[in-house]
Structure 1
């Protein structure tokens, strides 16, 4: 049976998104739990249902209103060669990290991806000022725009990568079995396109996230007696 003809460019764009979303991407994403480790210690999250509730809150009130809208804006800024907007949104995103741990998580992953992109000769990465902090979403936008993944596909890849890492943390910490981990992914995956849809409709005045529980969990995480994760 003949396959439906697909553009080689579209195929390569999809593969680039998979490359950026892969857990093999050497930016250390597996080392962070974004407060989930503390939430589990406090029994706020203890099973698949409470994990879905916690992750759903982060998706709806943080990624949909902060990270993903900024990723879309930065992709657009790169398409328009608007360096001022790129730097402004990058600084604004980092300024919205409510704790030292969340700031370091974002800037360290962003810096790791920036170094990788420089080694791959991505022009925007090469031009980034030495020593200037960079958010992960900014670096992802650089890669996606350079490889012409499309902003929506890139956003979905970023969300998948986040969800996979959070599920991996929950699998180790609750712990969840491998089957329950897949059930959690199966439950959460249908929500991801709606997150991108919401992010694409927000005005600049609508941007921002306020999650007191996440901020508290992150701030208390560094004082836990034992820790597997860096945030």
Structure 2
């Protein structure tokens, strides 16, 4: 059951106005658009569908499931272990830096807004800074937002951020961006269901194109996005 308070909190966490810097990043899209590999709404859709099914998005969702369940059990060591695992799984320094920057910003915000368990404070010893998906999952768990709804919210926010980047870069019209967001709803739902059932042995992603695009981004002659 999603209470009114939990719903309002979820809307706050998925808002583009959340001050964690997500608007700074294109996650390789700017490189691919500059190279002429993505030039239309259909191409953006194909890219995002792949990421939702086989790429970093589905892997993050699967780790969020484990983090959420660990918090429910009070197993904070497991929360830190999965955060470290996800940091080690990042394909490039650029993607890792993005996730650490956004995750740390969100955890700092949580420290102000929520009563964090001592084991989850940023100052608590841990091998890596927080990844943004792990921080979002912590925020959702503390607000009693049901796991499946939290996953839907996170993936919707992620897709929205990248569509907004494509609207600026290709450029796409605002209406085309909204059509694309609606078309991706079934794929977001499918990724959530996949993440709820995947086993630890089957945790994997296939993101070679994303890794190369993110690494090449810093050498672009002109950039709108940080990475």
Q: How does 1:185-196 map to 2 (within 5 A)?
A: 185-196=181-192
- Contact in 2 for aligned 1:63/1:195 (Cα 8 Å): no
Tell me the CA shift for residue 63 of structure 1.
Answer: 4.2
> Could you list the runs of 5+ residues in structure 2 that have no partner in the other structure?
none
- Is the counterpart of residue 102 in structure 1 residue 98 in structure 2? no
> Could you list the runs of 5+ residues in structure 1 that have no partner in the other structure?
1-6
Moved runs in structure 1, 4+ residues, more than 3 A? 124-127
SS in 1 for 2:117: helix
**Superposed CA offset, 1:35-75 (max 9, x none):** 00001111111001111001111111124541001111101
CA 1:23–1:64: 2 relative to 1, 3 Å: closer
Q: Which residue of 2 aligns with 1:226?
A: 222
Tell me the CA shift for residue 138 of structure 1.
Answer: 1.5
**Superposed CA offset, 1:112-143 (max 9, x none):** 00100001133137742428511112211211
**Superposed CA offset, 1:186-215 (max 9, x none):** 211222111100011100011121211111
CA RMSD of aligned residues (A): 1.6
One of 37, 43, 50 as aligned partner of 1:57: 50
Q: Partners in 2 of 1:176 and 1:140 — Cα distance?
A: 29
TM-score (structure 2 length as normaliser) = 0.94
TM-score (structure 1 length as normaliser) = 0.92
Q: How does 1:1-231 map to 2 (within 5 A)?
A: 10-63=3-56, 65-124=58-117, 127-130=120-123, 132=126, 133-231=129-227
- Contact in 2 for aligned 1:99/1:218 (Cα 8 Å): yes
| Number of residue pairs matched by the alignment | 224
